[in-house]
Structure formats: structure tokens, C-alpha cells
């Protein structure tokens, strides 16, 4: 069954008695996409991944992988996915070579040259050569995850599903793993489930954000390229620097804040450290629905100061993520 639609869900729901883990989510993933499935802990990310990988069944809705229904055709689905959870399913007493050969048996790869080629491929792709003959118990967490990534790719699946794969890794191991992932994503479809925003920004071309901030079950609250999601945030940031006339020392922060505060629109103004001793630099936060650059410029020049810098920036993905996923009571507690 040939299709460019690798994942299709519609109205997907999972209930545990009175608790709703996932509430009527719908999304599609197409061939060649590297998608970040982003959400806070408890939002329903892992539940969705387990449904797609046939580990648990949904209460309601449709879920298809590469054209096959996860409820009615689970064996066909499993042939077409590679899956890596937070902790790779490893046997520490085996060497990496023995483990990959064992996984070849589980995947029913024919013994002989075809299997050897498959093993050589994942050894190169996942960077396993330097510890290929070592026992898994002797490997670092990062090396173990790369072995787990290798087993998920052994049968050359068109779709790779990763559920919090870097949660136990240190920053260096995490960066290395994500670099391998980005390279792998050039040749197949990948969905990366995580609550780490920097991972999505580094490795993914598209982001799905799931939220359960109202406590009624995880729902998709944003879907698209990162820049598109950032553009949908509630605020923008302006970076502005002012100096005194003819290169003299810039205005005091209080004076600059008062001048900019007289403009209708800014929600907050804070000073930013700058290496220029003659400049005063600030960040102004305003609504995304207006562009204050002209008004901010006029407020500076009306005081006789030189405008050294003025830029308008979309909010960082972290701010939009917080806006979409943080419940009102938690916002109130943070503000208190």
C-alpha cells in the first residue's frame, strides 16, 4: 500500500475510566517530515505514541500508519515503524554485535549477506563502530541510546517514532544523539515526542504542541513550522538602543523608559546589558497585532537622542509554548 501519508489520526481519544489522557486529537504526518511532538509532562505525548506503535488501544477515533489501521492491522504497522522509547530495550550482558543480530532475528531479517548489510548500515549511521564488540553494560547512556536507535532502524522502516529518547542524556550526549537524528531524518519520516523545546528547534522542521492545561485531556493547540507558531504568539519584542546626540553618553534607563512608556502599546520595558558604554539598550514587549517601531523611533528622536538600534522580533518558541500550555492557576502562582 503506497502512500505519502505516514500518520493519520482523527478524533483520537484515550480514557482511563474517568480520566481522559488524550481528547479527540487529529493530525497528519507526511513522508519526509521531521516532526516534533511537543508538550509538558502529562499532556498525552507518550499515550499518543503508544497508540501509534500498537502498545495500547485507543478508546475512540482513527489512527493509521502508512495506510494501515493500528487497531485492525497491527502487524503491518509494526513492520513499517522503528520505535525508540525513553530507555532503549537493551540486554546489558550482550555485546552490541550480539544485540543487533538478536534484533535481526526478532525482525525476521534473513540470515546472511542481507542481514550483514543491514547491521553495517546502522553501525555507520548511528556511529557504533568504536564500541561494536563491547558489552552493552559497559557503555555510557548516550552510547546505549545510539544502540537503541540502531535497533529501531535495522529493518529500514519508513517511519521512526521516538518517545523522549534524550531524557537521561547529559548535554553533550544529547547534542550528539540529535545530530545523528537530524542526519537520519534526511532519508525517512521522524516523529520526536519531547518536552524539550531546544530539541525541537534543533532537529525538527515542524512542531505539534499538545496541551492538557484545562485538565480535560490532551489536545493539539498548535501545528506548523516553528516560525509560524512563533508568529501566532501573543507578543513581540523590540530591541532598542539609544545614545546621546553626536556620540555622547546615552540617556539614563529611567529617562528612556519614561519616554518609551508614553507610547501607547508597550506592555513592559526592561534594560539590557550592552558592551557600548555610550548606549542605553532596552527590550520592549508589545502585542503582536501592532508594530510600534515608528512610535518608538519618534519617542527617542523627540528627546534629541540618537537611535542606534531598533528591531522587531517574534517571541521565542518557549514563550509561545508556555502561553499555550500553562494553566491559569499555575500562571497566577508564578506571577505571585
Give me 201's grid cell: 528547534
Q: Residue 330 contacts by C-beta under 8 Å, 6 or more apart in sequence?
A: none
Domain spans in the chain, listed from the N-terminal domain onward: 5-231, 235-313
* CATH for 5-231 (3.40.140.10, 3.20.20.70, 3.40.50.300, 3.40.1440.10): 3.40.50.300
Q: What's the predicted TM-score (pTM) here?
A: 0.82
Question: Which pLDDT score, from 0 to 100, does residue 329 have?
Answer: 47
Question: Which pLDDT score, from 0 to 100, does residue 44 have?
Answer: 94
67-89: average pLDDT: 92
Domain 235-313 indexed as CATH 3.40.50.300: no
Whether residue 216 is predicted with pLDDT greater than 60 in this model: the reply is yes
Q: Cα dist. 274→11, 252, 278, 285, 313 in Å?
A: 51, 13, 9, 18, 18
Question: Which pLDDT score, from 0 to 100, does residue 336 have?
Answer: 43
Question: Which pLDDT score, from 0 to 100, does residue 139 have?
Answer: 95
- Residue 219 CA to residue 13 CA, distance in Å, equals 10
Q: Give me the phi and psi of 90, to 5 degrees please.
A: -110, 160
pLDDT digits (tens, 9 = 90+) for 132-148: 999 999 999 899 999 99
Question: Which pLDDT score, from 0 to 100, does residue 214 have?
Answer: 85
Residue that has been written with the C-alpha cell 492545561 in this structure: 213
- Residue 97 CA to residue 76 CA, distance in Å, equals 27
Whether residue 131 is predicted with pLDDT greater than 80 in this model: the reply is yes
pLDDT digits (tens, 9 = 90+) for 295-326: 999 999 999 999 999 999 988 899 899 989 98
148-173: average pLDDT: 91
Amino acid at each position: 500500500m503506497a502512500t505519502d501519508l505516514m500518520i493519520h489520526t482523527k478524533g483520537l481519544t484515550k480514557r482511563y475510566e474517568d480520566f481522559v489522557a488524550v481528547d479527540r486529537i487529529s493530525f497528519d504526518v507526511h513522508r519526509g517530515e521531521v516532526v516534533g511532538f511537543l508538550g509538558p509532562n502529562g499532556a498525552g505525548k507518550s499515550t499518543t505514541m503508544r497508540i501509534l506503535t500498537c502498545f495500547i488501544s485507543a478508546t475512540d477515533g482513527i489512527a493509521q500508519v502508512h495506510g494501515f489501521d493500528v487497531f485492525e492491522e497491527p502487524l503491518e504497522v509494526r513492520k513499517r515503524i522503528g520505535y525508540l522509547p525513553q530507555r532503549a530495550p537493551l540486554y546489558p550482558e550482550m555485546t552490541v554485535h550480539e544485540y543487533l543480530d538478536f534484533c535481526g532475528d526478532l525482525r525476521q531479517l534473513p540470515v546472511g549477506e542481507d542481514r550483514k548489510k543491514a547491521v553495517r548500515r546502522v553501525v555507520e549511521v548511528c556511529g557504533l563502530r568504536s564500541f561494536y564488540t563491547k558489552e552493552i553494560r559497559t557503555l555510557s547512556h548516550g552510547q546505549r541510546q545510539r544502540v537503541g536507535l540502531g535497533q529501531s532502524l535495522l529493518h529500514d522502516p519508513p517511519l521512526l517514532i521516538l518517545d523522549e529518547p534524550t531524557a537521561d542524556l547529559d548535554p553533550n550526549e544529547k547534542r550528539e544523539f540529535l545530530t545523528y537524528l537530524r542526519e537520519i531524518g534526511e532519508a525517512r519520516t521522524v516523529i520526536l515526542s519531547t518536552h524539550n523545546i531546544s530539541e525541537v528547534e534543533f532537529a525538527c522542521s515542524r512542531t505539534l504542541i499538545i496541551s492538557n492545561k484545562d485538565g480535560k485531556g490532551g489536545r493539539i493547540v498548535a501545528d506548523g513550522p516553528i516560525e509560524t507558531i512563533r508568529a501566532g504568539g501573543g507578543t513581540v519584542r523590540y530591541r532598542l538602543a539609544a545614545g546621546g546626540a553626536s556620540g555622547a553618553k546615552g540617556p539614563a534607563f529611567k529617562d528612556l523608559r519614561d519616554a518609551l512608556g508614553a507610547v501607547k502599546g508597550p506592555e513592559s520595558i526592561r534594560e539590557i546589558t550592552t558592551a557600548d558604554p555610550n548606549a542605553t539598550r532596552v527590550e520592549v514587549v508589545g502585542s503582536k497585532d501592532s508594530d510600534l517601531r515608528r512610535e518608538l523611533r519618534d519617542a527617542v528622536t523627540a528627546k534629541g537622542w540618537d537611535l542606534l538600534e531598533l528591531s522587531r522580533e517574534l517571541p521565542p518558541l518557549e514563550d509561545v509554548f508556555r502561553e499555550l500550555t500553562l494553566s491559569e492557576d499555575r500562571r497566577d502562582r508564578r506571577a505571585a
